[in-house]
Structure 1
Amino acid sequence: MPKAELQRRSLLAGLAALPLAGCATVMPGASRGLTVATFNIWHDAGGRWPARLVLLASALRAVGADVIALQEVLEDRRKDLPNQADTIARQLGYPHVHFVAVEPEGAPKRYGNAILTRLPVIAVARHKLAPLADSRTAIRVRVQSAAGPVDIVATHLAWQPEAGAMRAEQLADLIAWLPTDGVPLIVLGDFNAPLDDPGLSAMGPPRFVSALPPGAAATTLNPARGHQPRVIDHIFVEPAAFAVTEARVIGDQPVGGEYPSDHFGVMARLMRR
């Protein structure tokens, strides 16, 4: 084979391998930042969904999150209500939406959790949490960030104040369900309990820390909608994998007397270690 032809084929083979190498390694200078947010959107409560949708989209757009977790997402064909996560994703221009509900696909009404992302999606898994009688779910989306794969998990735990033991059971089931391949993990959602609730002990150090530390916010429940102030919406990260550079409540200001939800959202900017 002529030398020039051999060099040409070697060059083509090297170029063909570049996309695979880019997926497998972190390129020099790649951003190691990741922004996430969680918001309990309060399904279609109060008949004010169109107005609240505008406010939810505005609050989330201002954050510019790479990944968004949503709770109390409703899809109700009987009311001609499309999946609310799909609607929010279209408003914000997110290409990937993944939803989980206890009801089967095709059911006239489905209610659950969702993850929206503009990052490439590697894998998706859905799970019904024990005890099944409480109808709680979790969804995991593995995304490809600039610094490598990350597992994002969204969930919504038992709401009763006395349900600490049930929340502990739900979290134990969730953690047992997660992969053990070392991919960094972020768990977001409405945990229906403050950080000092014994039912959330599995989300404490050394494996996890709250991106929003104790005292950083007065409440994530909206007092204007009849709630006692408590911080029950959380973003838990693995401190071995992430440093928190910013965390705060979002969607906590009314517009024309209307709020996005009966909860406030939480956002966090993270830096991969």
Structure 2
Amino acid sequence: MPRLSFRVSCTSSVSMPPSVSAPPVPAGTAAGRCALLPCDRPRAHSRRVRRTWRIGAGMPLRVVTFNIWGTGTPHRYWHDRAVLRGARAGSPALGEADERRVWRRRAALLTRALADADADLVALQEVPARAAAGAGRARELADGLRGRYDVAHSGPGPTPGLAVLSRAPIRARRAFPVPGFGGFGGHPTVLEVSTCAVTVWVAHLPVGPDEVKEACLRGLEAAAVAAPRERPLLVCGDLNCPADGPLMGRLRDRGVLVDAWASAGGSPAALTMPVPVPTWRLDHVLYRAGDPVRAATRPALLGTACDDSGQYPSDHFGVALTLDIEAPAPGGSNPASH
């Protein structure tokens, strides 16, 4: 792979946000079903801020995916279902029924976990789907972090939504249907966000059945093969597929998408859900094979500690790792399409 090194300068401004254009529709997506989505610019900043992103050999990009549990509370699970979820056994958090108070505690824990990760790009799932709450809660987390983040979100809908926090200014964002979506749970669309460095697809696949999840994974792979190669493509989210299960095993065997956790040397024993006693790793960062992603390093789980009330940030642990991005070959083609 050529080690071409160059700079792309991205400029973010509150007074003059960058223009937005929709990227091409992936194969298999019906025309007219994609929607341009709103993007929140960083708040409480009036001065023009410029950050130069180096695209070239060894550009590190710290990536996080985190299912933030919508409006979930430990109390609801414990008292309605006798299920321990998102809190320590016997802790005061199990008795707190007010979701807004629970969110304040969870937001503080989520912000601390994301700040410790020092991520350049954060993919969120189960962001509340109400228009105000969805944008507000993603923006609330972004405003609590060091530096400035653009926020894109999937907008209101019948299920909890998706969001991206990005240090690099967001150039374009849209949503397209999850190929093969069915079953129950999850989110019916993929949130696509492009920056100067990468394109990221955020997905939350349905809980089941397995044949539906298999169709979703194969649909995402087909869309990834058809998508442009102008920048690396990441697929992040809660795929509701255990890392050690047959669905992810077949995905790895097909070789279209690469499991960044495994390539980074992450422990096969690392589990992300359900908290506090996780039994599966459902949360994944994948990258497209053949893209200029040289390595994945520094894998870590986020949100593994509770506060003094026994509250955890979510019923999932987050996943963080660093990708090294190289410059693509001039006029490079998509090797998977040949």
The TM-score, its normalising length taken from structure 2, stands at 0.62
Counterpart of 1:90, as a letter, is D
Q: How does 1:1-273 map to 2 (within 5 A)?
A: 22=8, 32-46=59-73, 47=99, 48-76=102-130, 83-92=136-145, 94-101=148-155, 103=157, 111-131=160-180, 133-134=182-183, 135-145=187-197, 150-160=198-208, 163-178=209-224, 180-182=227-229, 183-200=231-248, 201-202=250-251, 204=253, 206-213=255-262, 215-224=267-276, 228-238=278-288, 240=290, 241-242=292-293, 243-256=295-308, 257-273=310-326
Q: Cα gap change, 1:83/1:171 in structure 2, threshold over 3 Å: closer, same or farther?
A: farther
* Structure whose CA Rg is larger: 1
Q: Tell me, which stretches of 5 or more residues in structure 2 are unaligned?
A: 1-5, 11-52, 74-98, 327-338
* Distance of aligned partners of 1:271 and 1:205 in 2 relative to their CA distance in 1, 3 Å threshold: farther
Q: Residue 28 and residue 54 in structure 1: after superposition, are their counterparts in 2 closer, same or farther (change >3 A)? A: closer
Q: Could you say which structure has the higher strand fraction?
A: 1
Greater fraction helix: 1
Match of 1:8 in 2: none
Residues 1:31 and 1:198: Cα distance change in structure 2 (over 3 Å): closer
Counterpart Cα distance in 1 of 2:289 and 2:268: 18
* SS of aligned partner of 2:160: strand
Distance 1:189 1:68, change over 3 A: same
Per-residue CA distance 1:137-179 (angstroms, 9 max, x = gap): 211111113xxxx11111111113xx22111222233344445
Contact 1:37 1:268 in 2 (8 A): yes
RMSD: 3.0
Provide the C-alpha distance between the structure 1 equivalents of 2:274 and 2:182, rounded to a whole number of angstroms.
28
Q: 1:64 to 1:215 in 2, by over 3 A?
A: closer
Q: Within 2, Cα distance between the matches of 1:102 and 1:115?
A: 15
Partners of 2:181 and 2:216 within 8 A in 1? no
Alpha-carbon separation, structure 2, partners of 1:140 and 1:203: 22
Comparing 110-119 with 205-214, greater Cα deviation is found at 205-214
Cα deviation for residue 62 of structure 1 reads 0.8
Give the AA of the match of 1:262: D
Identity score, percent: 29
Q: Distance in 1 between matches of 2:55 and 2:267?
A: 37
Q: Which has the higher contact order (CA 8 A, sep 6+)?
A: 2
In structure 2, the CA distance between the partners of 1:132 and 1:220, relative to structure 1 (3 Å rule), is: closer
Contact (CA 8 Å) 1:218, 1:229: kept in 2 or not?
Answer: no
TM-score (norm 1): 0.76
Please state whether the residue corresponding to 2:144 is helix, strand or coil. helix
Q: Please give the alpha-carbon distance, in whole angstroms, between the structure 2 residues aligned to 1:28 and 1:143.
A: 12
Q: CA deviation at 1:216?
A: 3.8
Secondary structure of residue in 2 paired with 1:116:
strand
User: Residue deviations 1:110-134, cap 9 Å, x none?
Assistant: 6211111010223212112244555
Give me the whole-angstrom Cα distance separating, in 1, the residues matched to 2:194 and 2:236: 14
Aligned length: 239
Structure 1: 5+ residue stretches without partners: 1-19, 104-108
CA distance in 2, matches of 1:50, 1:88: 11
